[in-house]
Structure 1
Amino acid sequence: MLRVIAGLAVIAVMAAVGWWWLSDGESAAAPQRPPTTVNVVPAISRPLSDNLEVVGTARATRAIVLVTQVDGRVDKIHFQESQDVEAGDLLVTLDARAARAETDRTRADYQRALSDYQRASRLVGGSAISEAEVANLKTTMESARAIMEASRVALEDHSLRAPFDGVVGLRQVDEGAFLQVGAPVTTLDSVRNLEVNFQVPERYLSRIRPDLTVEVTSDAYPDKVFRGKIALLDSRVEAASRSLTVKALLDNADSLLRPGQFLQVSVLLAEHPALLVPEQAVISQGAQSYVFTVSNDDVAERLPVSLGGRRDGWVEITAGLDQGQPVIVNGHSRLGSGAPVKVVEDEGALMPSQRALLEEPA
């Protein structure tokens, strides 16, 4: 019996040795995994803005409808539609022949009344004229002067002039047309500086204030940004929308934007330096986010990170990464920590907007 047990023990030992020899041989013969080709980009530090995105409406800083002040027939139109004009420029003249004749008549009446009063003033004190008569002549002279001034103003009202610098709109009258008082002639808008009105939710009341920078874009000019500053805040929050009306002044020196236009408004609430990596470098698994970096011996290392804001295809890393540390942007979809990698240069690894921020000075 002892011989049988001893034989079985020897067989077991020999089997174990054989299994170890075979498995070791197979491990030695298994080929090593080739390194994964990856592209890397360094983490950069750039300013990151905290912006409020809203929509707004453009308004002229001054906008009026030009109307006639007196009745009359249009004698001549002096402007072209959509023309830039300056304050005082003549726009329309009405037939002023009757008004001019009336002005001449009232001027003559005033001159006669003035002469009568001056002559009587020299004779007062004697028996030729009484002080009461002189007083009556003075009243007559002053009344004639007032009538003359009124006729002069009426004559000037036959010439319609621009009250301020701006752009005239479409013509609403033709030469020869008879106009009554208050008839619209055209519009006048001051558009070199525009107002932009927009609504801000009440939760931003503590952060919104005059002089904050705004950037405005329009679908009509997708590649252009118009800049300005907040000028005024309304005195009350609208109860229905729980929002505050804000007015910003916008530089429109090229006169590209027009009153009434729909605009996208971005208000710069704050700005801070941030550590940024390309968005494609971040891998999210559930609530946790990771990036892969490359060690000095060309081995991938997975690092858990915390994310912040975003800018131009880059995402802010608030914790877990150092400035300048290279992160993998391509080839990391099946990587594991400790896997060998081969870093190659590829300009196509970043989008143009991302590369522009990479090349921008810190």
Structure 2
Amino acid sequence: MQIIGSVLRSVIYSVRFRKYPKGNDNIMKLLKLVCIGVLGTAGFVPMAYAQKGGGAKKPTPVITTTVIKSEFADYIEALATTKSNESVVVTADESEKVTAVHFEDGQIVKKGDLLVTLDKTQEEAELRAAMALTAERRNAYNRAKGLSGNSALPKATLQTRLAELKQSQADTEAIKARLKNYEVRAPFDGVLGLREISVGTLVQPGDMITTIDDLSQIKVDFSVPSVFLTALKPNLPIVGYVEAFGDREFKGVIKTINTQIDPVTRTVRVRAILPNDDGVLKPGLLMSITLSKNQRQSLLIPEEALVKRSDKNFVFSVNEKDGALIAQQKEIQLGSRQPGVVEVLSGLNEGERIVSHGVSKIRNGSAVMIRAEENVDAPLKKLLEQNAQTSSNAGE
């Protein structure tokens, strides 16, 4: 202000006491404009100063939440392909024509149900001949046995007749066993696939007739990094998701952990079993697997509440001071993370109120105004529900 006053006095002195030649009206006009500018500046500076220092800054509106303690766990995720509990390709053991088909596509069958009959005319004729020969040799043996009791027949002859009888009996049983190959039956309870043959088809051993799958439960094999090996154990609950079924959860348990670690990937293969009572799961689906480990009680906050500076993490705690709400910056130590949720190891207490939205607009010591308060953040609520479901599965 002193500088502005000095400039103004100099200008006024020049205008009043210095003489300018005639015709220099432009100089006079310029001096007048300078006076006006200086006076304007003199008026602006006090006004700006008054605006800057005059009135208190309004509190910054924020959204807050409360630090809670709840069940928390670390999660391991993997991808797996669904498999039937049991699955085989149904084939014939003999080379022969199909005489009858006893099933339809997709039919549910029981173990032992007849599926296909092959032409067995020749084998049945051989069986009748073998049975007739067996009966004949049995009679011959019985006659020889009766004669040998009177010493009328050498003992060697009796032994020969007995050997012939046993040979005939063995041949008969072999033909009966082979005849079973001409009737193709279901090896276990399951669902048949598509029929690949018709009546009159000449099938060869190994030719596909159909498939059968036991879908009462589904196997999933997946790989887990070996660093999690100590967390894996039989009957550990898992949850599977398939894109085709949206958010539907398929719950199961670990059945087996492989005895070997892959030396290249450093992973271990794990097999889990999932019930499939409604039969919606089919073999070959891509399934996302989630399993939990190290369940514990932890302090949880929304991820939006974090302020990261260098390698440190902070939150703003909201406390009342002199009738106003003040944001206080606090350094915290973090644990595990889940989508939208962070575990706090130290630096906060249960029930403490922190800023969850609006952290970029405030500083340490800023006055704040609570626009809204969240009891439980949406991602946190979803995680808590998931933890509760996982815990109930483990209890079952």
Which residue of structure 1 lines up, in the alignment, with residue 77 of structure 2? 53
Which residue of structure 2 lines up, in the alignment, with residue 326 of structure 1? 353
Shift in CA distance, 177/300, structure 1 to aligned 2, threshold 3 Å: same
Q: Distance in 2 between matches of 1:28 and 1:103?
A: 114
Q: Distance in 2 between matches of 1:28 and 1:324?
A: 38
Deviation of 1:240 after TM superposition, in Å, equals 3.0
Conserved 8 A contact 1:330-1:349: no
Which residue of structure 1 lines up, in the alignment, with residue 370 of structure 2? 343
Structure 2 counterpart SS, 1:153: helix
Q: Name which of 142, 146, 149 aligns with 1:125.
A: 149
Q: Say which is worse superposed, 26-35 or 172-181, in terms of deviation.
A: 26-35
Which residue of structure 2 lines up, in the alignment, with residue 311 of structure 1? 338
Conserved 8 A contact 2:78-2:224: yes
Structure 1 counterpart SS, 2:71: strand
Which residue of structure 2 lines up, in the alignment, with residue 282 of structure 1? 306
Q: Does 2:131 match 1:104?
A: no
Q: Does 2:178 match 1:151?
A: no
Structure 1 counterpart SS, 2:167: helix
Q: Distance in 1 between matches of 2:143 and 2:256?
A: 61
Q: Distance in 1 between matches of 2:93 and 2:178?
A: 8
Which residue of structure 2 lines up, in the alignment, with residue 136 of structure 1? 160
Shift in CA distance, 138/342, structure 1 to aligned 2, threshold 3 Å: same
Q: What percentage of residue pairs aligned between the two structures are identical?
A: 29
1:292 maps to amino acid: F
Q: Does 2:61 match 1:37?
A: yes
Conserved 8 A contact 1:52-1:267: yes
How many matched pairs? 339
Q: Name which of 181, 184, 193 aligns with 1:160.
A: 184
Deviation of 1:27 after TM superposition, in Å, equals 9.7
Structure 2 counterparts to residues 73-112 of structure 1, below 5 A: 73-112=97-136
Q: Does 2:210 match 1:172?
A: no
Conserved 8 A contact 1:48-1:311: no
Deviation of 1:346 after TM superposition, in Å, equals 6.2
Deviation of 1:74 after TM superposition, in Å, equals 1.0
Conserved 8 A contact 1:63-1:189: yes
Deviation of 1:29 after TM superposition, in Å, equals 8.3
Deviation of 1:348 after TM superposition, in Å, equals 11
Once superposed, which parts of structure 1, at least 4 consecutive aligned residues long, lie more than 6 Å away? 346-349, 358-362
Which of the pair has more CA radius of gyration? 2
RMSD: 3.0
Which residue of structure 2 lines up, in the alignment, with residue 70 of structure 1? 94
Q: Say which is worse superposed, 169-178 or 95-104, in terms of deviation.
A: 95-104
Q: Distance in 1 between matches of 2:182 and 2:136?
A: 27
Q: Distance in 2 between matches of 1:36 and 1:214?
A: 45
Deviation of 1:315 after TM superposition, in Å, equals 1.0
Q: Distance in 2 between matches of 1:33 and 1:355?
A: 36
Q: Does 2:189 match 1:183?
A: no
Structure 1 counterpart SS, 2:63: strand
Deviation of 1:122 after TM superposition, in Å, equals 3.2
Q: Distance in 1 between matches of 2:224 and 2:357?
A: 40
Structure 2 counterpart SS, 1:299: strand
Structure 2 counterpart SS, 1:333: helix
Q: Say which is worse superposed, 69-78 or 243-252, in terms of deviation.
A: 243-252
Deviation of 1:273 after TM superposition, in Å, equals 1.6
Q: Say which is worse superposed, 191-200 or 152-161, in terms of deviation.
A: 191-200
- The structure richer in helix per residue is 2
Q: Does 2:247 match 1:228?
A: no
Which residue of structure 1 lines up, in the alignment, with residue 266 of structure 2? 242
Structure 2 counterpart SS, 1:144: helix
Q: Does 2:220 match 1:193?
A: no
Conserved 8 A contact 2:66-2:375: no
Deviations 1:7-66 (CA, angstroms, capped at 9, x unpaired): xxxxxxxxxxxxxxx99x969982233333332221122222222222223333332222
**What is the TM-score of this pair, normalised by structure 1?**
0.82
